[in-house]
Structure formats: C-alpha cells, structure tokens
Amino acid sequence: MVLRVCGTRAAWAAARPQHSAGMASSTKAAASLQSALLVTRAPVVLQAPSGLEREYYRFNVALSNRLQQPFAREQYFKKGSAAESRFDEFYAQLQKTWDLQTATKTPDAPRAASGAQEAEADLYATMPRETKADQERNVQSLERALDRTLYLAVQRDGTWRLPTKALPGARAPTDSLHDTATEAVTEPLGTDMDLWLVSKLPIAVVQDAAQSNKTYILKAHILSGTPSSASGTDFAWLTREELQERWLAQDTPDARASWNVVQDLLDA
C-alpha cells in the first residue's frame, strides 16, 4: 500500500505544472493532461491449434497408445454387451487413425441411429467458433472473435482512439486519473458496463510531438454489460490488427508515436 500511495503521488507530481519562484509570465505553459482507458475483453475460447501443434499432439497420442499396456476389457464390459460393442468400434477407429479429432465426438461427426445416443451427442455438442456477429461483421458486439482479446475503441474527430477525457485545468483534490478514465467510457457509452479497473496507476503515458498534451493510459476489463450508443458515439470492439488499421488510418507523426506506445500494451 505504501508503494501504491507513493506511486500515485509521484504520478501527480509529474502531472502538476512546475513553477519556480522567479518564473516569468511568458514561460511556456504546462502540458494539458488527459486520461485514457484501455478496456479489454478476454478470450472466451482457446485459439484453434496450428498445423504444427495439431501434429505434435497427434504424435504424442499415437506414441502413448502404442506404448501402453493392452486394455483389460473383460474387467469393465460384459461379454457381448452394447457397451463392449461401442468400445470396440471406438478402439478400432483409434488404432486406424491415431487422431483424437476423428476418434472423439465432434459436431460434424455422424450421429448414431439410437435415440439414446442422439440425446447423448446433443448433450456434449459444442458451440461453433464463428458466431452470428462474425458472419455479419458486427464490430459492436462482444460475441465476435471469441478466441482473441478485444479492445474498446471510439471514434473521435474522425479518428479511432481509446476512450479519452481531459482533466480540468484547475484541478480539485478529488480529481484523479482513474476517475477521469472511467468517465471517458461511461459518459459517451453509458453505465451499463461492469468495468474492473486493474489499477489506479497508469500503465503508460503518451505525449504529442508539440508536448502540449500528455495522456495517461489506465487498464480495465469488462466483466458484463455492453456499451450504449444512445449518445451517438461510434464505438467498436477490435482485435489488435483491426485497432492498428483504424489507428493508423490517419498517418501522422502523433498517430505513429502514440501507436508505438499503445501496441506494447496489447496482447499478441
């Protein structure tokens, strides 16, 4: 707790305008402060394995099955029972292919004729990775790109950036970076989102080329809810590549410099 307090005071000490006793009125004005919030939605499902990963797991399964002791089926199945028949069918397919994807039940696998087995297949059926939001390219839905981390971006003055709000020039003791960052999201997009602020301390700072604006970036996760576009603010949940494409659509030195900082805060 001591470190957090000291860090907060250090951040505010760096943020406050510095004045010396004999400073003239024509001295350059201090940079205006802004607070931005990096809101993320964590992946919902695991990423699909690559070709190398799939082959690695297939080889290990095949090696394990070849080295294991023969299965004592007489201890587990009654001779001539339906369970023994299902096991023999499964084991024959496993020995033939050594591939778990064809040996286990998948949504694309043909279903058995038995009504009980059909009910069992429905019970363990998995949802598709590609959702309706993916098919419709709805970037305002959280039900897209389930295997990727999504980041909240808003359109401001024709450019896509993180939700950002400027701190008041005459700051009161109650003004803070984390409250301002939260307001940068709730004011234009409503309060229907349950946001968890990772820390009250900024994780990065961005300064423009003219050194007139300094933006502190804080991080938060969305736990539930969705943004509301009632205020007319355009927003999107974007992957790292989509955010980069929209961020650098306006190719300016400030955009490139700020992206160099933000990209280090994003997941691969």
**Same domain (yes/no): 247, 178:** yes
Whether residue 112 is contained in a domain is answered as no
Higher pLDDT, 16 or 77: 77
Domain holding 87, by residue range, is: 48-67+74-98
User: What confidence tens digit (pLDDT) does each residue in 147-162 have?
Assistant: 999 999 999 888 999 9
**Same domain (yes/no): 39, 78:** no
**Same domain (yes/no): 202, 259:** yes
Whether residue 83 is contained in a domain is answered as yes
Q: Write down the pTM of the prediction.
A: 0.71
**Same domain (yes/no): 38, 89:** no
**Same domain (yes/no): 178, 214:** yes
Non-local (6+) Cβ contacts of 128 within 8 A are 107
Closest by Cα among 156, 172, 173, 151 to 239: 151
Q: Which helix (H) or strand (E) holds 190?
A: none
User: What confidence tens digit (pLDDT) does each residue in 214-241 have?
Assistant: 999 999 999 999 988 767 789 999 999 9
**Same domain (yes/no): 248, 238:** yes
**Same domain (yes/no): 182, 233:** yes
Token look-up 């279903």 returns 111
Whether residue 20 is contained in a domain is answered as no
User: What confidence tens digit (pLDDT) does each residue in 168-199 have?
Assistant: 877 788 889 999 999 999 999 999 999 999 99
pLDDT score recorded for residue 62:
80
Whether residue 6 is contained in a domain is answered as no
Q: Look at residue 2 and tell me whether its pLDDT is greater than 70.
A: no
Whether residue 58 is contained in a domain is answered as yes
Non-local (6+) Cβ contacts of 17 within 8 A are 29, 30
**Same domain (yes/no): 40, 90:** no
Alpha-carbon distance 3 to 9, whole Å?
A: 10
Alpha-carbon distance 148 to 9, whole Å?
A: 36
Q: What is the mean pLDDT of residues 61-73?
A: 80
User: What confidence tens digit (pLDDT) does each residue in 30-53 have?
Assistant: 668 999 999 999 999 988 889 999
Whether residue 81 is contained in a domain is answered as yes
CATH number at residue 224: 3.90.79.10
What is the DSSP annotation of 105-170?
--TTSPPPSSHHHHHHHHHTPPPPSS-HHHHHT-TT-SSS-TTS-EEEEEEETTEEE--EEEPPSS
**Same domain (yes/no): 82, 215:** no
67-81, 108-122, 135-149, 250-264: least confidently modelled range: 108-122
Q: Please give the tally of structural domains in the chain.
A: 2
pLDDT score recorded for residue 118:
65
**Same domain (yes/no): 177, 240:** yes
β-sheet bridge partners, residue 49: none
Q: Which helix (H) or strand (E) holds 129?
A: none
Whether residue 13 is contained in a domain is answered as no
Q: Look at residue 130 and tell me whether its pLDDT is greater than 70.
A: yes
Whether residue 131 is contained in a domain is answered as no
**Same domain (yes/no): 92, 178:** no
